[in-house]
Structure 1
């Protein structure tokens, strides 16, 4: 009888925990988009296990930043852009757009091209651009057709595709003692290639567009629940748990992608990846066809998860700046400018596929651009989350500020080093 009661309690706790998972989980999962997968794969191929430690380092930093953004969204009831517009000079708002929008558009184009490239590997009869059009069309239909709650549910289930990446290392021989050493003992090389990949890793894990998405989705989530929840300490704790779980899952996947490419590609003598499909194809002779198919499907799945987040982020940024009606829960007819921005960002992203830049390079450039622009946005988030006029009693605690300023210092040092090595 006692055992049965304990089982019921455990099931109840699990259901309660799963119920609180939402914006934080989706945000964390979308961080492992094709841009992230490409960056982590290149890191592993180029430096073996030498960058595994970054998964451990970045978790508390990205978790702290995303928790601040989620808290801003819940407390203010609006996204970062809306909060900046209401409480700060317009110059700061326009600078934020200038830093963020180009990188996000490049990210969209690179992700779509990456999805098209790996889909072409699996079914070669369809050309890459044909696949790009199919993915863009399907995603656009889903974003416009379904309300926010339906999209959120689809995105939550899509998170499961990330589990595919955890499987691959167990299909090959791994020296786990070397993995443990590389995880807990950082390796640093002060040269252009290593610093570039380090900035790319930092940029793709602590991505500015995720700040906007987290705040906006948290504000929309609370708007949907406003009749059933009270924003108090307990609710904010649940928000934090959601964010921390999402970021933890994201970094676990990051760890295993670096591990896979470090063990399989680096040890197989493949140290340079020029295209996303090359990264997937390189796995086939070294780890088997099944591993290659899993990797390719992971690229497509993460792209389907990330592109609604990327296009939505841009639309919320632009829409809140110019005072449009915004919201994925709104129908197309009542928020035409908002959805038009989504359509335009997708079209521009698709057009970048004709620029002659390989998908892997575009993805790496995106991550580096994020790494260079992040310090500015980190300072903005820190200022807002410490502003009592905006946040009331829900301002940052000591540990949030310590983690936030450490994140700023790390991103700034990495960016300065990258600029130095680029010109010297």
Structure 2
């Protein structure tokens, strides 16, 4: 039976959406929303082009990561453990863990502030409550039942698309402003670097690769492609569809967040946004309560999706690097270290979120760390994906290979720009 026929028999196109869709949606987490909102508030429509430029780069590196997981049956850190010097691997994974915890803190804090805007009450308690709920969902619910919930949460991002329909958008000006003019170029470059850094993030590489590898544990009819090459055509077709849809969805939402901030905040002289909840709060007097409520609801929804992805990707990376059992398909008693990392990173992020630390500083350092480690990680992923000794007959080649290396080189240029 053809791939299309088999997919239809198993439930149609919706069943082909999984790790790629969740990864793309998790990219628009509250800290990402803050960055996109600041870009729109500070520069109007002048950064919208970045959502178009980063799209093929995201698709390329995420597809390569997914290929590595599906072909080898192991996550990225498990493959790197076999081919990287141990000090290098430990350093990269440690930096990823730090960046993820800081991102968790920013996201959990933004969720608490967003719910305060919607309902009133103490944002600190809301933030701690969201952390506990996210942790319980990830630990208690078996992943085969949890995965559909994560997929459903991706729909919360449509709140940012809906927001555009309750504000006035000068579309003619939007298209004319895609090429920026008369901007403070130093500040503009810093913002472009921030947008790239929050869009192409290392935790997304680890999550999608690990989820592809774990498919074989959830579905016992699947095996690593090195052992079951007859499954390759169907697997790669699903990965292309899933990743393409997920990354397009992610960047469309980012486009609408920037568009909303540009059309409302920048147009009214509001150019400084400290976090995602600030953006929602600033919308209320300018665009009305409906726009602010939709924006705030989106922050809560995408935060509930992003928190388990951030904690899970950190746990996969650390557990695989030290060769201990990992996977959301395992029960907590069978993968204690893995679940302890999830719990520890989530709770530490929650404590940081209610501390006196400046959320802008946390986001800045998370972006710096992500930017610094993204280039060697992407280079390492490409080296692994193109090695016949690792991938066998399924080593990445052709246009995907060139796209993956192009993504790596662009990120290297972005990081160089940030450092300069």
TM-score (norm 1): 0.91
Deviates more, 1:87-96 or 1:68-77: 87-96
User: Which deviations, in whole Å up to 9, do the C-alpha atoms of 1:330-384 show, x marking residues without a partner?
Assistant: 1121122111111111122122235433334433442343223211111111111
Q: State the secondary structure of the residue aligned to 2:311.
A: helix
Shift of 1:271: 0.2
Answering whether residue 128 of structure 2 is matched by residue 129 of structure 1, we say no
Match of 2:56 in 1: 60
Matches within 5 A, 1:31-180: 31-125=27-121, 127-180=122-175
Matches of residues 377-416 of structure 1 in structure 2 within 5 Å? 377-416=377-416
Gap regions ≥5 residues in structure 1: 1-8
CA distance in structure 2 between the aligned counterparts of 1:172 and 1:122, rounded to whole angstroms: 19
1:281 matches 2:281: yes
Kindly state the Cα deviation for residue 315 of structure 1 after the two structures are TM-superposed: 0.9
Aligned positions, number: 409
Distance 1:88 1:372, change over 3 A: closer
Change in Cα spacing, 1:13 to 1:250, as seen in structure 2 (3 Å) is farther
Question: Displacement, 1:91?
Answer: 2.8
Specify the SS of the correspondent of 2:310: helix
C-alpha distance in 1 between matches for 2:356 and 2:17: 40
Q: Distance in 1 between matches of 2:220 and 2:70?
A: 10
Which has the higher mean CA deviation after the structures are superposed, 363-372 or 80-89? 363-372
Q: TM-score, normalised by structure 2?
A: 0.92
Aligned with 1:201 (options 195, 211, 216):
195
Gaps of 5+ in 2: 224-229
Give 1:19 deviation, angstroms.
1.5
Q: Work out the CA distance in 1 between the residues paired with 2:32 and 2:378.
A: 20
Post-superposition shift, 1:327?
A: 1.2
Q: Note the C-alpha offset of 1:12.
A: 5.5
C-alpha deviation, 1:190, in angstroms: 6.9
Q: CA deviation at 1:189?
A: 5.6
Rate the CA distance shift 1:89–1:109 in 2: closer, same or farther, 3 A: same
Tell me if the contact between 1:265 and 1:282 (Cα under 8 Å) persists in the aligned partners: yes
1:288-330 alpha-carbon deviations (Å, 9 max, x no partner): 1011011001001111000100101111111112222211111
Q: In the alignment, what sits opposite 2:330?
A: 330
Alpha-carbon deviation of 1:276?
A: 2.9
Paired residues of 1:38 and 1:364 also in contact (CA < 8 A): no
